[in-house]
Amino acid sequence: MKIIGTGSALPRKVVTNDDLSQFLDTSDEWIFPRTGIRTRHVITDEKLEDLGMAAACAAIAQSGLQVGDIDMFICSNVVNEYLTPGLSCIIAAGIGLRCPCIDINCACPGFIYAMDIADTYIAAGRARNVLVVCAEEPTRMTSWEDRSTCVLFGDGAGAAVFTAGDNVKGIKLNAEPSVDKIWQYRPLEPTPYVRKTETNVPLQMNGREVFRFAVTTSVRDINEILAKEGMTASDVDYFMIHQANMRIIEGIRGRLGVPEEKFPTNIQDHGNSSSASCPILLDECNRKGLFKKGDKIVFSAFGAGLLSAVALMEW
Ligand code: UT7
């Protein structure tokens, strides 16, 4: 499988750390050194599906394919306004796709989980051209009275079109399932029979445990897939790391012993946009002309589940 098109779309509203300090007990002096975030794009009047459609159309246009050439669509999303149908069907209806639509809820590593599914379908001959869209609005999951979570996130959508090729050199998916590291729940509709208490709990996170999980699994799994190819981190041209926290990204970079220029980042302007983070970064780098044919690119992402994933791809 190989990537033949990328796209992304962001909400118009940009919220600075100083904006947050107008209504929260926080400051740029706390947020920037601990996270690397200066601003984030936040949904106001946009619909998430519209961002997803814009990212999808940009990726399809760049691929040179027509919408009708896409024969599988995978959408990665944690939350949107609809519980059903899946966001994949909503986006597909909007852009005229008529292929199988699959939704995955794999949180931050969703792009790499979707890549793995796409790679498997293409390798099995069951799909030729797969569209992946990651569309997320985590700013609608946090309490905006909770300074420990709401300052971290931003919204957006990223997309990629994959087709047959032998550019994917390795993918590793990993899980350490537990519900007490990152979680959120909300009540369902009441019925005459429900006898349990259901409450609304906005996004909760054990930041330190997630931090440790992120750095440990990312470094371990990157080294593992590189070793399988007889490579080391120094053979890689670019690392596309989930933009959750600059200290996590720097922790991974330091342990791999790789220079800064191989770790492009956009967390400064976007915050953590969950599964949309990697494909937005990929699209921004691609459209800047950063990648050249044959470049070795490693993807790594981690988050709720706890799930993590890494991939090695040749551009
Ligand atoms: O997408 C994957 C999911 N998430 C992640 O990858 C996040 C991973 N974790 C992290 O990025 C970091 O753990 C955080 C950025 C979330 C937190 O950084 P930390 O250095 O672990 O801080 P902390 O949670 O231990 O909080 C330290 C202090 C606390 O005050 P006390 O109890 O020491 O008095 C917090 O109340 O900082 C306080 N604090 C804040 N202060 C000002 C927490 N958030 C804020 C804030 N502004 N926004």
Mean pLDDT of 147-155: 97
Q: Is the pTM of this model over 0.85?
A: yes
Domain tally, the chain: 2
Residues 196, 285, single domain; the answer is: yes
**pLDDT band at 212, cuts 50/70/90?**
very high
| Cross-strand pairs, 272 | 153
Ligand 1 center–CA 174 separation, angstroms: 25
Mean pLDDT of 244-256: 98
Taking only the tens place, the pLDDT of each residue in 80-104 is 999 999 999 999 999 999 999 999 9
Our mutation pick for probing the ligand 1 site, out of 21, 149, 211, 215, counting the most ligand atoms within 8 A of Cβ, is 211
Q: Is 167 labeled as catalytic in the residue annotation?
A: no
Query: Which residue has a Cα nearest atom 29 of ligand 1?
Result: 148
pLDDT score of 222: 98
pLDDT score of 98: 95
Mean pLDDT of 289-301: 97
- Active-site residue among 75, 101, 108, 150? 108
Tell which of 145, 165, 185 closes a domain: 165
What the block records as the tokens of 201 is 């709990």
Mean pLDDT of 251-258: 98
Residues 224, 148, single domain; the answer is: no
Contact 59, 5 (CB under 8 A): yes
**pLDDT band at 223, cuts 50/70/90?**
very high
Residues 98, 144, single domain; the answer is: yes
* Helix or strand holding residue 205 (H, E): strand 201-205
Tell which of 133, 165, 197 closes a domain: 165
Q: Give the residue from 166, 179, 76, 165 showing the smallest Cα distance to 129.
A: 165
Q: What are the residue ranges of helices labelled H in 229-307?
A: 246-256, 267-270, 277-287
Residues 69, 83, single domain; the answer is: yes
Residues 175, 298, single domain; the answer is: yes
Taking only the tens place, the pLDDT of each residue in 23-72 is 999 999 999 999 999 999 999 999 999 999 999 999 999 999 999 999 99
pLDDT score of 189: 94
Q: What is the span of the domain harbouring residue 243?
A: 170-314
Residues 144, 252, single domain; the answer is: no
Query: Which residue has a Cα nearest atom 36 of ligand 1?
Result: 148
Residues 192, 155, single domain; the answer is: no
Residues 237, 270, single domain; the answer is: yes
Taking only the tens place, the pLDDT of each residue in 186-209 is 999 999 999 999 999 999 999 999
pLDDT score of 4: 98
Q: Is 272 labeled as catalytic in the residue annotation?
A: yes
Residues 224, 146, single domain; the answer is: no
Give the Cα separation of 96 and 87 in Å (integer).
14
Our mutation pick for probing the ligand 1 site, out of 108, 144, 148, 250, counting the most ligand atoms within 8 A of Cβ, is 148
Q: Give the residue from 225, 223, 239, 220 showing the smallest Cα distance to 296.
A: 239
pLDDT score of 50: 98
Residues 197, 272, single domain; the answer is: yes
Average pLDDT value over all residues in the chain: 97
Domain containing residue 175: CATH number: 3.40.47.10
